[in-house]
């Protein structure tokens, strides 16, 4: 368990939450808050994907499809139905979870990693093309714009507004979702459920022989993982207020998020969070170089696979182990 | 009647490219269990190379193609030596190879974009004119794709099943360590297989380059189709991949006759998922699969 969560994971999470709480009181401009908001949303996405990729050991490559489903379904229901995004994000997340079950079923019978990778990748391509081709509803690649933002919240005299242009409110919202989702995931994964996941990952046949119902657990993990990713997509949609199929379900999204998880550490609880922070900030700093961004992600993946396949989270752990092992 | 023949012919032509790309991926997977996500970028590199030789240097098309195939084969061998071979000794190499080749794929795309920019370029037709058989009209260039693809795959099958190199490849595929023990240099065979696979991808790119544009992302679409073909054919089976390539081309061709063109890829990938649902080992689950 130590190698997944590190020492005192709740304390680490509390520390991250405290840092997040301080940020709005720092003299930061809106642009930096925007970058941090994107980081928080991508961190939820990456942690959600890590459930199947790292925790259960199912090497899926199509989770950007669930991000797109969460984003588009929530946006469509809110836009055409006139329903508050506070409600529609759950519709988006639920739809993504259902999609997770649908693609989870054919995957159940497959134990070969390449099959899983290719089938999930093909699924993501189907989802991208569907949103791209349903032009009457989504306007295709022209972009689905005019997505409503979260309704403002009134606290006493203060009104908290959301969406691009309302940096503080958007940041606070993303931070609340980030902390809530991570507390929930931590509670779940440190419980019996987490043990079952790791048992399936490390010794599938042995787990099965001990009475673990493999297919049920895999479907559950798929649905949960897809639901979390879908939720992050829905939050993203009502934040940026415009979606295009290629930007949310295209190969760049896959590469970006995969790089975050690998750089941070596949199968480490906090890995994706560190990876998301590092790469969101690094890629913003390289924005003026434009075309170099994807080169950074690509070479970053190769570098980490070769030098530190366990990611940033493991580097820190190894150091700590070294200092404590002597006592 | 003529439209039916046209659908079949178009399916065979598209399918032959899928078969070329897919059989290359299958060859590598069958021998080394490696799934190469940078396979599409080998096509892209070949596209730019043939453009350079044939248009910039104005070489004869046959010579340009030959030079391109030699160089892209070398690039394939280099990629295998530099990125894949070092990972194979590790425990979790299957996923690490997938991740590393995805990284390589996107890095090569960005590099191509930086070197050649975003302008989309096309090669002139190698063969001019249109074949007319009854009321069917088909440009010779498209027919040439089918003919050359079949020739190249036949040559590859001949090498694989009738030559000493092929015997070494098949021995290594069955058991790399045992092959090594009887004196087959498995490491070199792996590299050679990668080079052959790159040549197959390069051949696909050369045949396509007069019809589609050469651009940094041209490999992506064919990589996905190639993967679909490999799974449908039964992972690692060369013959299965060839058959599945033609089948997928045919399905797309028939699908497009009934649905708008933009749904073509949705039809292809949905077919893949449905097949996997019922036959997880593919349609032509091979002996090696």
**Chain A residues near residue B277 by CB distance under 8 angstroms:** 105-106
Domain annotation covers residue B270: no
- Among the listed residues A83, A116, A155, A66, the one whose alpha carbon sits nearest the alpha carbon of residue B273: A116
pLDDT band per the 50, 70, 90 thresholds, residue B120: confident
Domain edges within chain A: 2-326
- Residue A73 to residue A229: CA distance in whole angstroms: 13
Terminal CA-CA length for chain A: 20
Would an 8 Å CB–CB cutoff place B113 in contact with chain A?
Answer: yes
Q: Does B9 reside within a domain?
A: no
Chain A, residues 166-195, CB within 8 A of chain B, namely none
pLDDT range class, residue A321, cuts 50, 70, 90: low
Structure tokens belonging to residue B232: 């449908």
Instruction: Flag whether pLDDT at A250 surpasses 80.
Output: yes
Nearest Cα of chain A lies from the Cα of B289 at a distance, in angstroms, of 11
In a domain, B227, yes or no: no
Decide if pLDDT at A325 tops 70: no
Q: How confident is the model over A32-45, as pLDDT tens digits? A: 999 999 999 999 99
Task: Answer yes or no: is B282 within a domain.
Answer: no
Mean pLDDT of B154-159: 93
Distance CA A86, CA A76 (A): 14
Q: Are B198 and B24 in contact (CB under 8 A)?
A: yes
Q: Which domain range does residue B153 map to?
A: 21-220+232-239
Does domain A2-326 fall into CATH 3.30.70? no
Q: How confident is the model at residue A229 (pLDDT cuts 50, 70, 90)?
A: very high
Tell me if B62 is assigned to some domain: yes
pLDDT reported for residue B121: 77
- Rounded to 10°, the helix B238-258/B140-162 angle is 160
Q: Give residue A90's pLDDT.
A: 97
The complex's ipTM works out to 0.91
Interface membership of A124 toward B (CB under 8 Å)? no
Residues 246-275 of A with CB under 8 A from B: 251, 254-255, 258-259, 262, 266
Cα–Cα separations (whole angstroms), residue A208 to A58, A211, A241, B40, B281: 16, 5, 45, 38, 22
Cβ contact (<8 Å) for B263 and A294? Answer: no
Structural domain count, chain B: 1
Inform me whether the pLDDT recorded for A322 exceeds 80. no
Q: What is the pLDDT of residue B227?
A: 94
The residue ranges of DSSP E strands in A92-133, in sequence order, are none
């Amino acid at each position: 368990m130590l190698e997944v969560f590190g020492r005192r994971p709740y304390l680490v999470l509390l520390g991250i939450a405290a840092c997040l709480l301080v940020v709005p009181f720092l003299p930061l401009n809106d642009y930096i808050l925007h970058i941090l908001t994107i980081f928080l949303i991508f961190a939820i996405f990456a942690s959600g994907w890590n459930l199947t990729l790292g925790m259960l050991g199912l090497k899926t490559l199509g989770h950007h499809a669930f991000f797109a489903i969460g984003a588009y379904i929530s946006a469509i229901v809110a836009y055409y139905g006139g329903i508050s995004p506070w409600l529609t994000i759950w519709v988006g997340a639920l739809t993504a979870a259902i999609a997770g079950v649908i693609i989870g079923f054919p995957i159940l019978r497959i134990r070969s990693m390449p099959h899983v990778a290719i089938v999930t990748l093909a699924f993501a391509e189907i989802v991208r093309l569907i949103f791209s081709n349903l032009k009457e509803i989504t306007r295709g690649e022209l972009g689905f714009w005019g997505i409503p933002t979260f309704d403002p919240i009134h606290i006493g005299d203060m009104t908290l507004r959301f969406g691009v242009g309302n940096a503080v409110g958007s940041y606070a919202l993303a931070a609340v979702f980030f902390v809530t989702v991570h507390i929930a995931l931590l509670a779940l994964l440190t419980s019996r459920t987490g043990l079952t996941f790791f048992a399936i990952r490390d010794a599938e046949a042995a787990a099965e022989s001990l009475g673990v119902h493999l297919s049920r657990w895999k479907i559950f993990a798929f649905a949960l993982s897809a639901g979390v990713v879908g939720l992050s997509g829905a939050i993203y949609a009502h934040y940026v207020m415009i979606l295009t199929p290629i930007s949310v379900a295209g190969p760049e999204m896959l590469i970006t998020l995969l790089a975050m998880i690998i750089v941070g550490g596949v199968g480490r609880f906090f890995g994706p969070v560190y990876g998301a922070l590092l790469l969101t900030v690094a890629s913003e700093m390289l924005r003026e170089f434009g075309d170099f961004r994807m080169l950074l992600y690509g070479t970053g993946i190769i570098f980490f696979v070769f030098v530190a396949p366990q990611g940033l989270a493991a580097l820190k752990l190894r150091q700590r182990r070294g200092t404590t092992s002597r006592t | 009647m003529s439209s039916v023949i046209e659908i079949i012919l178009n399916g065979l032509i598209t399918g032959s490219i899928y078969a070329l790309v897919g059989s290359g991926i299958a060859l590598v997977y069958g021998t080394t269990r490696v799934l190469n996500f940078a396979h599409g970028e080998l096509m892209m590199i070949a596209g730019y190379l043939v453009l350079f030789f044939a248009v910039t240097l104005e070489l004869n098309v046959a010579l340009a193609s030959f030079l391109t195939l030699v160089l892209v084969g070398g690039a394939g061998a280099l990629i295998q030596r530099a990125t894949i071979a070092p990972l194979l000794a590790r425990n979790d190499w299957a996923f690490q190879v997938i991740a590393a080749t995805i990284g390589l794929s996107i890095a090569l795309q960005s590099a191509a974009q930086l070197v050649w920019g975003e302008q989309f370029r096309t090669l002139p037709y190698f063969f001019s004119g249109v074949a007319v058989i009854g009321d069917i009209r088909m440009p010779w260039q498209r027919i040439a794709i089918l003919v050359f693809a079949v020739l190249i795959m036949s040559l590859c099958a001949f090498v694989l099943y009738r030559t000493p190199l092929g015997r070494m490849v098949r021995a290594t595929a069955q058991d790399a360590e045992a092959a090594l023990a009887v004196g087959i240099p498995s490491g070199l065979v792996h590299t050679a297989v990668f080079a052959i696979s790159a040549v197959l991808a390069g051949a696909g790119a050369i045949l396509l380059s007069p019809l589609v544009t050469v651009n940094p992302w041209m490999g992506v679409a064919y990589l996905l189709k190639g993967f679909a073909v490999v799974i449908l054919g039964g992972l690692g089976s060369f013959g299965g991949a060839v058959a599945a390539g033609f089948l997928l081309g045919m399905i797309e061709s028939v699908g497009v006759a009934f649905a708008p063109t933009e749904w073509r890829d949705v039809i292809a990938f949905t077919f893949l998922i449905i097949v996997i649902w019922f036959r997880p080992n593919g349609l032509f689950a091979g002996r090696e699969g």
